[in-house]
Amino acid sequence: MKDKVVLITGASSGIGKALAFAFGREQASIVICARSPESLETVRDELRRSGIDTLAVQADVSQEADVRKLIDATIQTYGRLDILINNAGISMRSMLRDVDPDVIRKVMDINFMGTVYATRYALPHILKTKGSIVGISSIAGYRGLPVRSGYSASKFAMNGFLEALRTELLDTGVHVLVACPGFTASNIRVSSLNNEGRVAGETMRDESKMMSAEECADHIVKAVKRRKRDLILTFQGKLTVFLNKWMPGLMDRMVYNTLAKEKDSPLRKKN
């Protein structure tokens, strides 16, 4: 990773921030983006204090013009791009019958279209370096999760998009990785949207029992180095994907029962 240029979207917290430090420790130059200028500047300063070469660009990945500006700034500063990590994402938590469709649209715009925009405009530069395109997806991209229908849809879309892209890029030397962390301690549940599109402000799961963002980032760095095709993390994540493939009916009930135990789960209410 020495002297590589790594662009990470949604890098102001959680897995994105951990990835910035993990790649930075490998002596890569790091480009980070986020919507909040205050959070972005804080992380930039932390990275620089750690001796990591960092460029911070405020950008909303759901806005095509912002993403083009982000890619242009990267090339103007470093003259190249080796690794794109599509990490920016948001979740939602609501039964479909209760949710405003605009909430699902917002989730799709950030999680899926943000990946499309960043990958589309980064691709010409990554083709030159025969670099890597990474999507930080989710187990929800393999197994639909109740009360998170919009989030699951966005991750299924990301997985299909990157699989199609990987096939398009056969024999070009470009590496495409789909990384699915499973339940990881991060702020994605705290910042998830409710049925009206308001931020929840608290997690509904015990974050202390989850894989840390730093451990997750270390696994992803190793997968990029090895140019792996897929990465599924945590025993629970691996088991969910396996059982959903071979015993989908059983998984319907298991997933329902597991998520019904979450704090204030609407699944506890009679349908």
Provide the annotated active-site residues. Answer: 151
d(CA 257, CA 130): 44
Alpha carbons 157 and 165: distance in angstroms, whole number: 12
Question: Is residue 164 exposed (0-12), middle (13-18) or buried (19+ Cβ within 10 Å)?
Answer: exposed
* Rounded Cα distance, 67 and 69, in Å: 5
Residue 134: strand pairing partners:
85, 177
- Give dist(CA 258, CA 220) in Å, integer: 27
Contacts for 109 with CB less than 8 Å, ≥ 6 apart:
62
Identify whether the C-beta of residue 90 lies closer than 8 Å to the C-beta of residue 105.
Answer: no
CA-CA distance, 3 to 82, in Å (whole number)?
9
Strands (E) across 99-202 are located at 132-136, 175-180
